[in-house]
Amino acid sequence: MSAFIQAHPRSTSSRFYIPWVLMFTAATSMAQQDAATTDADLLKGVLNQGQRMEAVRAGTAREVKVIASTLARQEIDRTVLNRLMQEISSSPEQTRRRLDVDENQLQNIFITLSNARSFINDSEMANIRAMCRAWDLSVQTGDNRIREALGAYSKRQRLTLDFIEKYYRVVLGDIDSLLSAESKILLADYMNDRRRRMANAGATTTGAIVQNLASGTETVRFHCRDQRASRD
């Protein structure tokens, strides 16, 4: 402003000076109002964000929808030993050196694993039948009925998984009986390494997805016909 007055001395008369003062004052006032409005908007946004965060903290977390079920603890040894059987079939010499066994021992290990694999039945259809039986006989409605059906599936599945775990513990003992002390250590190292890899990789199972209500609802609706509704 002072620079303008120095450059235009004639405009310092009241006839020219007063309008410029009024214009400058109005512009300053508008800038202050804009700044105040901006600050108010920012404060309002911060408060709204805080309220949303509090609402999230206070709310109930939604169930995560599971895409594929990971291996149960009871399934890991069976999966590792099936992998060992595949390695014996595809790379027998490499596997023989890894376990420090002769060809006869390697063949006996393969036969033991092959017989075990043929003997075990996942009984997935039995799990599904238990689920649909509970669904059909339930007196519950809505989500409670679905939870009851999923609970029946999980209970029946645990019986199968517990049997698989115990059975493959026996199979592993049978294989150990074929090995020397050094080979037993090598097999134990192999098993521990493969168990760790599968845990880190999140290996999946082929069973139905029933981990929670969000995932299990589709499983129930896909497999179980609503016999109760058809009777009504």
High-pLDDT (> 90) share of the chain, %: 38
Domain ranges of the chain: 2-58, 73-231
Query: What tens digit of pLDDT does each residue of 43-58 get?
Result: 566 556 666 556 545 5
Query: What tens digit of pLDDT does each residue of 169-200 get?
Result: 999 999 999 999 999 999 999 999 998 888 77
Angle (deg, nearest 10), helices 92-99 and 103-119? 100
Q: Which of 104, 90, 103, 105 is nearest to 179 (CA)?
A: 105
- Left (φ > 0), alpha (ψ -120 to 50) or beta: where does 53 sit? alpha
Q: Hunting for tokens 């006989």 — which residue is that?
A: 137
- Left (φ > 0), alpha (ψ -120 to 50) or beta: where does 66 sit? beta
Q: How confident is the model at residue 27 (pLDDT cuts 50, 70, 90)?
A: low
